Structure 1
């Protein structure tokens, strides 16, 4: 092994982002990347160890020590005195492959300290005669997904050369300094300025980031994954859909993720997050290291958008994004006005994994399986690409934001959505493509609409309380920057019901609600129903005469006034002159840790009136529908 030590090099921009992310975090983050090879045949463990030693000597990124001097991080390439390599014999286990998967899962869950050396580790797991797994794990700060095929191909070639007694051809991989110098040159180039101008122009009025979690972003300290394999007929139909639109498989996957995200969030324009390799130069494509980037992809999905429309829109946006992929995502975030400490990505990640390289270690064919592509702060769609019809879907999520059940539901729902999309006519609106699983459709259309009596009824307030008991910390209402948990909402609505009851409202009463849409409006309606009364919505922008007319016609004796509507409510009541009582919805919500305990019994039953909504009426006079 060549014992060469480079002088300290600057970190790449991608490395710098990770370095400071780790420094400011309270504890280790889930930055591990990992893969394993399934090796079949007469493998020579000593030869494999030597091939790994030679490969790590060439791939300097795996031999850097990270330090900080005067607030500036540096990386120094050092020789490996000891190979970070373990051998484990699992051949005696009842199920060696299951034992190997469990061993790798435990190791993957063990973060690599960013200040340790080296920032990678490997293991050979023996499963039986002529069968083994080669496991490799590295901190994302030294390696990105582009490095995987580059490094693995070299590793396999070195083993094969040793096996065949050929020269190993040391020095096939260029030094790390080549990659660092290339990035420094880009930063001061005209191309960098053109890229900056493109992102500033395209995303000056970008929509806000969206998330499936509905909770404040937090650091990812763990890793949650759910996987499935798409049925081949679905893959074939999706490939045919892409072919008709003349787009690539990655374009189709990204478009499907955009449509799914739009359906679940309701936003007409959404942002996705795309990981890109940011390697547009010859130097960048030949040197192992970490320069990967993540960028936003802006996609509009209107109600009438067809699959064909969406595929063409995404193909065009993707092409323009890749032309400017070296401009750093953190700078795009800053230019968009997003906070530096905001952990949210632009939106769900969509990572289309390239076909795994077909490799052999001498006489041993090797099948590569990805275990983790690195940290996931929120949610990631990870879909494999291949020349055939064997396509895997991996949904990765931050376990601080999603439960295993949440991810199971997304996996089943996204798989069902892809199946429905594969059968959709290219010229019919996407709004007609189902986004629910069969079980969810049955629950919504059959179980929740069952009209038979016998104790099966549960009204909306009962359901909110049930959810508050089961998952009190889950977000119930997102109102701007305010997130109200189910526990807090149930407690707050119960207090509103108590105030109404004390004021004399109950079964048979009608309570008008005047307010802008938001958390207090939702809580107010739940409070009315909890008191056994019915609610009547009033339009805050309607003329006073219209509002007083509705009060008089409906007979409502109470009026709930939302934030900013107290003066308007008093004006309405004064004009009405019938003594309607105003109650103000201005109490603060309890904190997110509130528990729905000791709530008053709900008044009324399933046959009581829930609400009255006024229509224009066929005669032009408003009529209340009960």
Structure 2
């Protein structure tokens, strides 16, 4: 969920670039991930992969130059991480030229299949976070006018909003380079290290205390763990092995869901989350549970163009008690969502520390099932002489949660080729394959699409009827 509000009350410190101490700390999100990585050595669940399908005349030198300029502009892309006397720290390195290896696959029996195999192999390689680079690119040539650019990035320097900033800057810089023009981009006013230092000061503010009080009250009494029925017993130690299923909601279904959101004066995210809660209610029989989501954390305009891990996890309490119809649930989910947006800055680990749930090996309190919404703004993805198609979330055989659904509404994000394809909503179902079979997740995805179609037609349907699968009614 990338909703943002700008709140610059008098209790919050100013955010600006300034003198830095000798040791730069991690942001709170980075620090939480740092400890998770040390507890689970070799975990690839927090590496990000995307591909750019490039069709047309590609200037590889210009592409390498554009990537080099992105790295120069953004300290996050030339940062490593290490332990220090006062805890983990960021180490910012000088700019360096990007190496862009080109692998020519035109001699393969099926070049496109060879590219898919090369991507599948490349994404299963661990990205060390104690040495450069934490972001790499690899170019695969499959035809005279066909290339695939593979983007690999560690989550310590990544979030979805920042990736979209990267895409826009890459397109702009490549376009300038092939035309022989200077960079059209202004120099960044702040860097990620400035944000990490500012956040440490903010956490000592009265505003942070106010947000902590909100979350402890909101989650008081909420079950910390969500026992969604699984195909195999849960083990005490997670290995974070997973797989993904990509499902596209057809344009006609997506448009009906958008129409419902407009009629009820709620966001598209609210409708899709409410339907997901109904799905989980029917699957588990539970009427009080939490769904985790990532929220942009970019409430101040200075963060709009930052690359780095600002995203924060928030726990959205799904309370279906005393709710009869889907329309009533929409109202409750809307209030929950608005509260999360308003109080999004308090790091999730501080919420957990304040509530002190019982620790259970292999479990993640209030965030074992997640629903994310990737609607952060993205301008036209265009490069001179090229048709460009971006695929995010390429699987590397891992899973962060028991079950996670990522919705990518192309029209809202302004990503897509237009027409029906732009109105479709892509969903990525990532699941722990030690808990779930592929068929189980596929069945859940089918029920979810049917649920969206049904509630769009009639939001006054009773939850008891919606939660019961058709084969059991």
The TM-score with structure 2 as length reference comes to 0.85
The equivalent of 1:184 in structure 2 is 200
2:423 to 379, 389, 401: 389
Contact 1:274 1:349 in 2 (8 A): yes
Q: 1:367 to 1:291 in 2, by over 3 A?
A: same
SS at 1:271's partner residue?
A: strand
The equivalent of 2:327 in structure 1 is 308
1:353 aligns with 2:400: no
Q: 1:82 to 1:399 in 2, by over 3 A?
A: farther
Structure-2 separation of matches of 1:42 and 1:314: 48
Unmatched tracts of structure 1, length 5 or more: 446-626
The equivalent of 2:278 in structure 1 is 259
2:102 to 87, 95, 100: 87
The equivalent of 2:90 in structure 1 is 75
The equivalent of 1:418 in structure 2 is 452
Q: 1:7 to 1:357 in 2, by over 3 A?
A: farther
Contact 1:6 1:78 in 2 (8 A): no
Structure-1 separation of matches of 2:434 and 2:99: 31
Q: Deviations over 1:311-337 (max 9, x none)?
A: 121111101111110111122222233
Structure-2 separation of matches of 1:278 and 1:337: 23
Structure-2 separation of matches of 1:103 and 1:435: 43
Count of matched residue positions in the alignment of Structure 1 and Structure 2: 435
2:389 to 367, 390, 415: 367
SS at 1:360's partner residue?
A: coil
User: 1:148: how far off?
Assistant: 0.8
Structure-1 separation of matches of 2:109 and 2:172: 34
Contact 2:54 2:388 in 1 (8 A): yes
The equivalent of 2:34 in structure 1 is 19
Q: Deviations over 1:191-227 (max 9, x none)?
A: 1111111112222222332143542464344331001
The equivalent of 2:462 in structure 1 is 429
The structure showing larger relative contact order (alpha-carbon pairs under 8 Å, at least 6 residues apart) is: 2
Q: 1:220 to 1:238 in 2, by over 3 A?
A: farther
The equivalent of 1:200 in structure 2 is 216
Contact 2:25 2:197 in 1 (8 A): no
Q: 1:109 to 1:402 in 2, by over 3 A?
A: farther
User: 1:132: how far off?
Assistant: 1.7
Contact 1:218 1:377 in 2 (8 A): no
Structure-2 separation of matches of 1:133 and 1:357: 21
The TM-score with structure 1 as length reference comes to 0.65
Q: Deviations over 1:427-468 (max 9, x none)?
A: 22122226537xxx2xx68xxxxxxxxxxxxxxxxxxxxxxx
Contact 1:34 1:137 in 2 (8 A): yes
Structure-1 separation of matches of 2:141 and 2:173: 21
Unmatched tracts of structure 2, length 5 or more: 1-19, 412-421
The equivalent of 1:293 in structure 2 is 312
SS at 1:146's partner residue?
A: helix
The equivalent of 2:62 in structure 1 is 47
Q: 1:144 to 1:32 in 2, by over 3 A?
A: same
User: 1:377: how far off?
Assistant: 2.7
Structure-1 separation of matches of 2:116 and 2:127: 19
Report the more deviating stretch, 338-347 or 289-298.
Answer: 338-347
Contact 2:51 2:394 in 1 (8 A): no
2:268 to 249, 270, 277: 249
Structure-1 separation of matches of 2:145 and 2:33: 39
Max Rg structure: 1
Structure-2 separation of matches of 1:318 and 1:274: 10
SS at 2:392's partner residue?
A: strand
The equivalent of 1:569 in structure 2 is none
SS at 1:410's partner residue?
A: helix
Structure-1 separation of matches of 2:86 and 2:434: 30
User: 1:303: how far off?
Assistant: 7.3
The equivalent of 1:343 in structure 2 is 363
Matches within 5 A, 1:429-508: 429-433=462-466, 436=469, 441=471
Q: 1:50 to 1:185 in 2, by over 3 A?
A: same
What RMSD, in angstroms, separates the aligned Cα atoms of the two structures?
Answer: 2.5
Structure-2 separation of matches of 1:175 and 1:246: 37
The equivalent of 1:37 in structure 2 is 52
Structure-2 separation of matches of 1:122 and 1:222: 24
The equivalent of 1:101 in structure 2 is 116
